[in-house]
């Protein structure tokens, strides 16, 4: 009987031994640089940019106008907060005739993702030629990075008249190259 117990114990140990070795074969390294994925850090919103945009502007006094514009600006991103400034000039035609409009805005917002930002904007705009008008501007926009140095964006600004009596709503869609 003693021989039977020893043989049974030896058979049991032999049967369990491959299972124990199989568990050891499934080990996965949990640290080390080779096991970490390489991730793109996203778009760099910091620095200068310049671009072009299309504009639609409407008011109850001056009617609707369409035009094209050029902008230059700079952004600084701190973690998820973005601040910046921009100067733009646009040529407008339609409703109230042909005119040019120049504006300067400051903006502050947040990074929605590494490649998208949303911001509020305030500034001052003035008409060049035509009726003399100066407006306080307030609104906001969204920009989306398409490539390493290229972004597209849409913005809405409302003009509150300081001089003149022509409140306006301005919508822009454009593209910027980032330096």
Q: Is the pLDDT of residue 34 over 60?
A: no
pLDDT at 124 over 70: yes
The reported pLDDT for the residue numbered 39 is 42
Instruction: Tell which wins on pLDDT, 92 or 9.
Output: 92
Q: What percentage of the chain has pLDDT greater than the value 70?
A: 77
**Residue found by looking up tokens 């035609």 in the block:** 93
pTM score above 0.85: no
- Listed residue (45, 104, 94, 106) closest to 68, CA to CA: 94
More confident residue, 143 or 6: 143
Give the pLDDT band (50/70/90) at residue 129.
Answer: confident
Is pLDDT of 17 > 70? no
CB 150 within 8 A of CB 44: no
**Residue 24's pLDDT band (boundaries 50, 70, 90)?**
low
* Whole-number pLDDT of residue 60: 83
pLDDT at 107 over 80: yes
């Amino acid at each position: 009987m003693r021989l039977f117990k020893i043989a049974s114990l030896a058979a049991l140990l032999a049967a369990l031994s491959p299972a124990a070795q199989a568990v050891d074969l499934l080990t996965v390294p949990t640290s080390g640089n080779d096991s970490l994925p390489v991730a793109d850090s996203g778009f760099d919103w910091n620095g200068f940019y310049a671009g072009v945009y299309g504009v639609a502007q409407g008011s109850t006094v001056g009617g609707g106008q369409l035009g094209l514009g050029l902008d230059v600006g700079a952004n600084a991103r701190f973690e998820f907060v973005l601040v910046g400034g921009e100067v733009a000039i646009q040529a407008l035609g339609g409703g109230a005739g042909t005119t040019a409009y120049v504006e300067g805005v400051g903006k502050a917002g947040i990074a929605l993702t590494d490649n998208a930002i949303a911001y509020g904007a305030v500034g001052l705009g003035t008409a060049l030629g035509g009726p003399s008008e100066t407006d306080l501007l307030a609104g906001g926009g969204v920009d989306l990075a398409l490539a390493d140095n290229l972004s597209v964006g849409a913005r809405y600004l409302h003009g509150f008249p300081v001089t003149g009596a022509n409140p306006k709503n301005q919508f822009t869609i454009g593209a910027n190259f980032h330096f």
